[in-house]
Amino acid sequence: MSFFKVEHLGIRFGGVVAVDNVGFEVKRGEVFTIIGPNGAGKTTIFNLIGLIYPATRGRILYQGRELTGLPPHRVAELGIARTFQNIELFEHATVLQNLLIGRHRHRRTSLWREMLFTSSVRQAEIAQREAVEKVIDFLELAKVRDSLVAGLPYGVRKVVELGRALATEPRLLLLDEPSSGLNPEETDDMAFWIEDIKRHLGITVLMVEHDMNLVSRVSDRVLALNMGSVIAEGTAAEVQAHPAVVEAYLGKAA
């Protein structure tokens, strides 16, 4: 049984076929990257996996379980967390509160006990806080812990969003362009974190990325897409050298 597998995945919006018959398999513990020119359908695949869009065809299998057809919140409950290309944080909340929402799937308290704030709720809250503090330590977010997200620079928000995804304690992490909008140093940090996430936390990473430096540095395998279809799959070097990939990015030689 494969860890995560996509079979014949496709979606059409009216006459536009955004993703067409895409299939790939992610092995447990690897970093798998999807690359492709703008409009290739990379983020659409993420939204299909997150069940934000219903797939027109195909299946998504996670640990042998079919995801297609489940309600979107079940995806997180099964241990798949994601970040967004344009950052979707809760802006009027502090970093700490944002990360605590990431703990939502680990809540164990009932509504009535929460209203009374019984000692079991209090203990649960402290346990959640401890788990969040581990993420804060891991991503070195301690100094912004109590700041409002709305006041933070873009680069830090990107890290906070990664932290929120990690706070859910996922088994599969979907990163949508983790380096977009980051300066070279921040990108470097991001690469370290992705490596650490894979090595120390043992989380499988599926990411969409444009920065080929980052891609070749962290990914085990790469999938290239163009116009919604797979054009190449292999290691970063193999895919970069693939004639179809070169053609997709640079065009055909005259």
Partner 1 sequence: MRFIFKTDYEQDIRLFRHGGQRFWYGVLAVLLLLAPWWAGEYVMSQLHFILIYSIVGFGLMMLTGFTGQVSLGHAAFLAVGAYTEALLQAAGVPFVISIGCAALFTAVLGLIVGLPALRLKGIYLTIATLAFNVIVEEIIARWHSLTGGNEGKHLKPVQILGWKLESDAEFYYLCLVLTVICCLACVNLLRSPTGRAFVAIRDSEVSASCMGVHLAKYKTIAFAFSAALTGIGGALYAHKLAFISPEQFTLFQSIELITIVILGGIGFLHGAVLGAAFIIVLPQLISIAKGWLPEGLVPAGMQAVVFGVILVLVIIFEPLGLYGRWLKIRAWFELFPFYRKGMFRRQKSYMKSERLR
The residue ranges that bind partner 1 (CB under 8 A) are 47, 50, 52-53, 71-77, 81-82, 84-93, 96-97, 100-105, 107, 109, 111, 114-117, 121-122, 125-126, 128-130, 133, 150-151, 154, 164, 168
- Cβ pair 65, 155 in contact under 8 A: no
Residue 126 CB, shortest distance to partner 1, in Å, is 5
Residue 84 CB, shortest distance to partner 1, in Å, is 6
d(CA 97, CA 148): 9
- Whose tokens are 């804060």? That residue is 136
Residue 47 CB, shortest distance to partner 1, in Å, is 6
Planar angle of CA 5, 168, 203, nearest 5 degrees: 45
Q: Which is nearer to partner 1, 90 or 192 (CB)?
A: 90
Is residue 165 within a helix (H) or strand (E), and if so which, with residue range? helix 154-167
Residue 240 CB, shortest distance to partner 1, in Å, is 29
Q: Which is nearer to partner 1, 164 or 198 (CB)?
A: 164
Residue 203 CB, shortest distance to partner 1, in Å, is 16
d(CA 88, CA 164): 10
Q: Which is nearer to partner 1, 92 or 252 (CB)?
A: 92
The candidate with the shortest Cα–Cα distance to 171, out of 124, 99, 105, 89, is: 105
In sign, the C-alpha dihedral spanning 214, 151, 127, 138 is positive
Q: Which is nearer to partner 1, 164 or 221 (CB)?
A: 164
248: helix, coil or strand? helix
Cβ-proximal residues to 85 (8 Å cutoff; 6+ apart), any chain = 43, 176, 177, 180, 208
Residue 178 CB, shortest distance to partner 1, in Å, is 16
Q: Which is nearer to partner 1, 91 or 140 (CB)?
A: 91
The candidate with the shortest Cα–Cα distance to 59, out of 7, 15, 107, is: 7
Q: Which is nearer to partner 1, 117 or 192 (CB)?
A: 117
d(CA 226, CA 34): 11
